[in-house]
Amino acid sequence: MKMNRMRSMLFSPANNPKMYLKAPVFRPDCILFDLEDSVAFTEKDAARDLLCEAVKVLDFGSSDVCVRVNSLRTPFCEKDIKAIVPAGVRFIRLAMCESRDDVIQISQMLSEAEKESGVEEGSVKVQCSIETVKGVLNARETVTGSDRVVSLSFGAEDYTRSLGTKRTREGRELMYARMYLPVVAAERGISAIDTVYSAIEDAEGLKAEADMAANYGFTGKSCIHPNQIDVIHSAFMPTEEDVEHARKVMTALEDAKAKGEGVFVVDGKMVDEPVIQRARKVLMQIGE
Amino acid sequence: MKKGRRFFKNMLGRRVPEKANLFGEIEPYKKADKRHIKYITEDQEFSGKVVNNIREALEKAGIKDGMTISFHHHLRAGDYVLEMVMKEIAEMGIKNLTLCVSSLTAAHECLIDHIKNGVVTGIETSGIRGKLAEAISKDCILENAVIFRTHGGRARAIEQGDVVIDIAFVAASCCDNMGNMNGQTGKSAFGSMGYPMVDARYARRTIAITDNLAPYPVYPISIPQTLVDYVVVVDQIGDPEKIGTGSTRKSKDPVELAIAKYASQVIFASGLVKDGFSYQAGSGGISLSVAGYLVDYMKEHNVVGGFASGGVTSAMTEMLEKGYFRTLLDVQTFDAGAISSLRNNPNHLEMDASMYADPFAKDCVINNLDIMILSATEIDVNFNINVLTASNGVIMGALGGHPDTAAGAKLAIAVVPLTRKRIPIVVDEVINISTPGESVDVVVTEYGVAVNPRNPVLKEKLIEMGMPVFDITELRDKAYRLTGIPNKPKFGDTIVGIVEYRDGTVIDTIMNVL
C-alpha cells in the first residue's frame, strides 16, 4: 500500500453528525472516526450506522479516513468490522492492541468481511493502537502479525493507567514508550503516530511535544481539536534542505535505474538503501 | 457716490443710502438683539434651548401629520429615545409620519403598534430586524414599502433632497443648553455621532435629547449649536448594558479560523498590504481573526497602515494604540473600549456618514479603501450578496455600509461559512440582492475560495500559491451536496421593501412572505 502522509490524525466522534461535514475542512492528513471511547455503550449501534452511511456518501477531500474500532475484548469489535468494510472503510485503528495474536485475530475478521462483501483480501489496512504496558513490550512482535499493519499509534492515557502512574505536562512517564515505539516502527518500515495532546488551549505546549515526538522518530501525531492541526503539521514537516535533497535522490535513482546502474552518487556521497528510504519518507511527508 | 442718490435715517438716526453699488437694496439697522439678564435689566433670563419635555419640543418644532422625522441607531438595542418620542407623538394624535432612521433594532418593536394605529406609514432605513421586520414581511402592516438605503446612500438622499427631514431627533450622551453635543461622555456614552451629523445639517428642525446636560460649551462638539433648535433633558436615553455590543474578540471556532486564514492569504496575495494601506472589516469573529493574521503579517514585514475605517471595535483601537494603523475613521463605535479611545486618542477620528460613504460627495473615505472584509447572509453564483433577507424571505438584516464599501474598496472579500445550520450560503440565486456581484472580488469559505472572473490575475496567483480555488458554482454544488437544494420561499404580490442602491437607483424589490 502506498503510504499517504499521516502527520495528523484528527479524532472525530463517530456519533457527531456535524463533524462528518466539518472535519475535512481542517485538512488533517487523516480523519479518525472513533467508535471506541468517545461513544457511549448505548450509542454504539447508532454511531456505527451513521458512520457507514456517511462514508458511503460524503467526500472527505484531501483527508484519508481511518476508523478506530472497539477492542477485540468487547462485543462491539466484530460488529464494527462487519459493518464498516462493506461501507468502504479501508483503514482501521485497532484499540487496545496488545499482541501478535490480536493482529492475527483482527486480520482474520477483516478477511471474512472482505470476502463477504466482495472486496479484495488484504485491502483493509491496520494501525495497531499500543496503549498498555503489555502492548508496548510486545510491540515489535505485534506489528509482524499481518502485512495489513501499516502503522502503529501510541495511546498515553491507558498506558499510564496500566503503568500505575499519572500523566504530567512534561511526559517523563511516557519516555520509554515514546523512545521504543518509533524504533519498532522504523524497523518494520511503518509509520508511528504519537498520542494526543489534550490541553487544547496550550499551543506552545503542543508545539514542544510535537517537536519532541518528531525528534524521537514519530511520523505524526493524533489530535483532538482542529486548531491543533497546523502546529502538528509544521512539527512533522521536513526542512526545505531535506526536501531538496530527497528530490535529488529520487531523480538520481530514476536515472540510475534507466542506465541499469546499481550504485549512484548525490552531492558527492554514495546513496544506499537507507538514504533512499529516508528520501521517500521526506517526500511522503510533503505529499509528493 | 453719485449725486442725487436718496438717503434715509436708520433707527439710530444715521443717514444710509437706499441703494449702494455692491449692496443693492439696503436694509437699515433696526435693533441690536442683545440678550438681557434679569439681574441687570428686568427682562427674563435667556436659558438656552432647553425645553421642559419632549411634548414641548414637539409642539415648538411644529410637528404635524405627514411629516418626515429622523432618528439614529448609535444606541443600538439599548435605545430609549425613539420609543419615548413616538409615544408622545402618538398621544398628540399625529398620523401619517415617515420615519427616516439609520437602522432599526430590537429596541424599536414599539413601532408595530404605531404602524397599526396609522401614526407611522412610511419607513426609510438601512435595516430592520426581529418582530418588526416579521410583521412588515409577513403581515404587511406598513402602508408603504420600506425604502432600504445604505449608510452612504442615506447621506446622499438627505443631501440631494430625496429625503427632506422635518424634525431630526438626536440622542446625545452629553449636551449643553445651546445644543453643542457629543456621544463620547456621560452615563450613556455611545461614541461617534456619524449618522445624525448629516441629519442635523439638513433637517428643518433638530431636537437634541440628552440625559447629561453639561456646562456650556460641551466639547468635543460632534454636532454644533448652530444646527440645533431645542434641547430636552430626560432621565435616561438608553440602557448602557445594551448600547455596547460587548467586548469583541478573535474567534476560537475552528471553522471561522479556517475562513479567516484563507481570507488573510488572499489579502497577502493581493499585494495591497504595504505602508499606508487602508482596511475595513466588520465586528464579527471572522473579521477579528483576519485582523489577527493581518497584524502578524504587518509585524513581520514592518508595515504600518494608513487608516482603518467604519464601525470601530476595541480590537481596532488596540491596533491603533500598538501603531499598526496611523488613524481610525469612525462612523459608529461598538464597545466601551472603542468609546474611550475616541474620547482620548487624537488619532481616532469621528466622521459623518457623508464623509464615510456618500457616493455623490466630492470624495469619501471608502473610495480610498484598499481592503474590505464583508459578511453575507447569502451569495449567489454571480457573486451577488444578500444581507437583508433570510433564506425564508423574511427581512432580518441591514444594508449598513456593505454595498458602499464593496464598491469603494480595491479588494472586497466576502467571508462566509459554506452552510449555516443546514442552510446553504453559496446558492444559485440570492433571495434579494443588496450588493451587486460586480463589486465583490473574492468569496472565502472554509472549503476554499472563489474569485470573481473579473480578477483573473488574482485567481492565477492564488492557484500558484496552492490555495483551494474553486469556481463559485463548485462551491454552490458542495453546499447543495451537504444540504440539498432549498425550496424557495412563497411570496405574495405585496411590495414590502424597495432596495435602493447607494446612488439612488433601485436594485431589488422585497415581496411579502406567505
Q: What pLDDT is stored for residue A2 in this prediction? A: 42
Contacts of A59 in chain B (CB under 8 A): 481
DSSP category for residue A173: G
CB A5 within 8 Å of CB A29: yes
The minimum CA-CA distance between B226 and chain A, rounded to whole Å, is: 55
Three-state SS for B441? Answer: coil
Q: What pLDDT is stored for residue A3 in this prediction? A: 47
- What percentage of chain B exceeds 90 in pLDDT? 84
Cα A127 to Cα A80: distance, rounded to the nearest angstrom: 15
Count chain A–chain B contacts defined by CB atoms under 8 A.
21
CB B286 within 8 Å of CB B259: yes
Q: What pLDDT is stored for residue B401 in this prediction? A: 95
Cα B170 to Cα B147: distance, rounded to the nearest angstrom: 21
Q: Which three cell numbers stand for residue B482?
A: 451537504
Q: Which of the residue ranges A280-284, B45-49, B172-176, B347-351 would you say has the lowest mean pLDDT? A: B45-49
DSSP category for residue B164: -
Q: Which three cell numbers stand for residue B190?
A: 455611545
| ipTM tops the 0.90 cut | no
pLDDT in tens, B394-451: 999 999 999 999 999 999 999 999 999 889 999 999 999 999 999 999 999 999 999 9
| Helix A156-163 with A133-142: angle, nearest 10 deg | 120
Please state, as a whole number, how many other Cβ atoms lie within 10 Å of the Cβ of residue B251.
18
Residue from the list B252, B255, B481 with its beta carbon closest to the beta carbon of A25: B255
- A26/B contact by beta carbon, under 8 A: yes
Nearest CA in chain A to B447: A25
Q: Measured on CA atoms in the order B345, B346, B352, B356, is the torsion positive or negative?
A: negative
CB B57 within 8 Å of CB B230: yes
Interface subset of A 193-252, CB within 8 angstroms of B: 225-227
Arithmetic mean of pLDDT, B253-258: 91
pTM of the model: 0.85
A90 phi and psi angles, rounded to 5 deg: -120, 10
B42 pLDDT band, cuts 50/70/90, is: low
Cα B167 to Cα A162: distance, rounded to the nearest angstrom: 79
The minimum CA-CA distance between A118 and chain B, rounded to whole Å, is: 28
Q: Which of the residue ranges A32-36, B27-31, B201-205, B473-477 would you say has the lowest mean pLDDT? A: B27-31
Q: Please, what's the largest Cα pairwise distance for chain B?
A: 95
Q: Please, what's the largest Cα pairwise distance for chain A?
A: 63
Given an 8 Å threshold on Cβ–Cβ distance, is B258 in contact with A26? yes
- Rounded to an integer, what is the distance from CA B437 to the centroid of its chain? 22
Q: Given the C-alpha cell 462514508, which residue does it identify?
A: A55
- A22/B contact by beta carbon, under 8 A: yes
Cα A22 to Cα B480: distance, rounded to the nearest angstrom: 15
Burial code (b: 16+ CB inside 10 Å, e: under 16) for B347-378 equals ebbbbbbbbbbbbbbeebbbeebbbbbbbbbb
Q: Given the C-alpha cell 482474520, which residue does it identify?
A: A108
CB B354 within 8 Å of CB B364: yes
Pick from A12, A16, A20, A22 the residue to mutate for testing the B interface (most B CBs within 10 Å): A22
Given an 8 Å threshold on Cβ–Cβ distance, is B419 in contact with A21? yes
pLDDT in tens, B62-121: 999 999 999 999 999 999 999 999 999 999 999 999 999 999 998 999 999 999 999 999
DSSP category for residue B377: S
Contacts of B254 in chain A (CB under 8 A): 22, 25-26, 225-227
Given an 8 Å threshold on Cβ–Cβ distance, is B254 in contact with A22? yes
Residue B93's region, left for phi above 0, alpha for psi from -120 to 50, else beta, is: left
Cα B2 to Cα B483: distance, rounded to the nearest angstrom: 90
